Structure 1
Amino acid sequence: MRTRHTNRPLPAQWSLTAIALIFAPFAASSAHAQAGAQGDAEAIVLRPLSFFKVNDLDFGDIVASASAGTVTLAPDGSRSRTGGVTLAGSGGEPARFAGLGSFNRQVNIALGANSIWITGPGQPMRVRNFEIGSTPTAILSTTPTRFRITSPLGNYNFPVGATLEVGANQAPGDYAGSFTITLNYL
């Protein structure tokens, strides 16, 4: 499972470019044209007692300053900041996991470590306070937390957010690391 963070400086001036695609009616002619396009299709068939990652944790684009701060990405996808960090754009999304158990079955969920370090071109940044989007939300730790599968079909999915500690004058660039979530069916 990957954690991704991008820290990019804001340009001095923002500009917006719009591109329009206009379809004009074609004149009728005796020649006929044919065109084709290809699309992709995907599916995941779940097996009983499965568990897998749907998408990675992404803190989105941020701008560091001379003051340290944090970026918190909640399980619902909302971002907040403290200190000298500026949130750039509306990016960022929690990690998401899914699986298939059975209705009313209990599961224990635990982290491999209570915090991790992500690395990039500058000083490593700590990621901590991993929060699962359960009802109510809960902070995950190395001590297993018990949950119950409430879907009548036994399928489930849940998001995980966290807090990123950004250093003062953090170097711009891509930062990445990984964390482990263990799920045990009881």
Structure 2
Amino acid sequence: MSAFRLLPHAPLALVACWLSCMASPAFAQNATEQVQTQVGVVTPLSFIQTEELHFGKIFASNTAGTVTVAPNGTRTRTGGVTLFGSDHQAAEFAGMGSFNQRVQVSLGSNTIFLTGPGVRMRARTFTIGSTPTAVLSTNPQVFRIAAATGAFRFPVGATLEVNANQAPGTYSGIWTITLNYQ
């Protein structure tokens, strides 16, 4: 991935000097940079994760609470949790089938635990961003592919239970989602 960044708050005189120096043939130079480019080719009747589920940064207190990331990316809280920053996001998946094909979607477990430096936290109520939204479980939910191309995307959010006096640090967990094309 390549990124270009402009330096903020550069003095105008410095910018003007840089532009005039670059335009001058006396200072012309050639430079070559190797950059990496990637692509993932996925077979039909499969799917990939395009975004990970992030609950973001929070402050815990002496009162338990929850953090919910909805499939549309909004984040809410209950109890003694204070939300901080905006680095949260719903998980997102993309797949390929055919128009009007049925797809069963299920979770490997109804409860996932995030572990870290303190007491583990439970993630539950995984919600898929379908119309209408639906709660995913180990029992498959059936959906139809609406796109004429057969390509589809779907977001998944969840609720995290934060313990009272949760120890600071980074917590993570692994969860499984299964698609069965019919």
Asked whether the two chains share a fold, i.e. TM above 0.5, the reply is: yes
SS of the residue 2:19 aligns to:
coil
* Counterpart position of 2:181: 185
User: TM-score, normalising length from structure 1?
Assistant: 0.85
User: Is 1:149 matched with 2:138?
Assistant: no
User: TM-score, normalising length from structure 2?
Assistant: 0.87
* Counterpart position of 2:89: 93
* Counterpart position of 1:103: 99
* Counterpart position of 1:81: 77
Q: Spell out, residue by residue over 1:123-181, the C-alpha distance to the aligned partner (whole angstroms, 9 max, x if none).
A: 00000000001111110011110000011110111110000000011000000111111
User: Is 1:26 matched with 2:20?
Assistant: yes
Q: Spell out, residue by residue over 1:1-27, the C-alpha distance to the aligned partner (whole angstroms, 9 max, x if none).
A: xxxxxxxxxxxxxxxxx9434633234
**Which deviates further from its counterpart, 55-64 or 44-53?**
44-53
* Counterpart position of 2:39: 43
* Counterpart position of 2:4: none
User: Is 1:115 matched with 2:111?
Assistant: yes
Distance 1:38 1:133 in 2: 39
Across the two proteins, how many residue pairs are aligned to each other?
Answer: 169
Distance 2:113 2:106 in 1: 18
Percent same amino acid among aligned pairs? 53
Which of residues 151, 162, 170 is equivalent to 2:158?
162
Which of residues 121, 128, 133 is equivalent to 1:125?
121
Q: Relative to total residues, which structure has the larger strand share, 1 or 2?
A: 1
Query: Structure 2 regions of 5+ residues with no counterpart?
Result: 1-6
Q: Which has the higher contact order (CA 8 A, sep 6+)?
A: 1
Q: Where does structure 1 differ by over 6 angstroms across 4 or more consecutive aligned residues?
A: none
Distance 2:91 2:64 in 1: 24
Q: Relative to total residues, which structure has the larger helix share, 1 or 2?
A: 2
Question: Greater Rg, structure 1 or structure 2?
Answer: 2
SS of the residue 2:160 aligns to:
strand
* Paired amino acid for 1:20: H
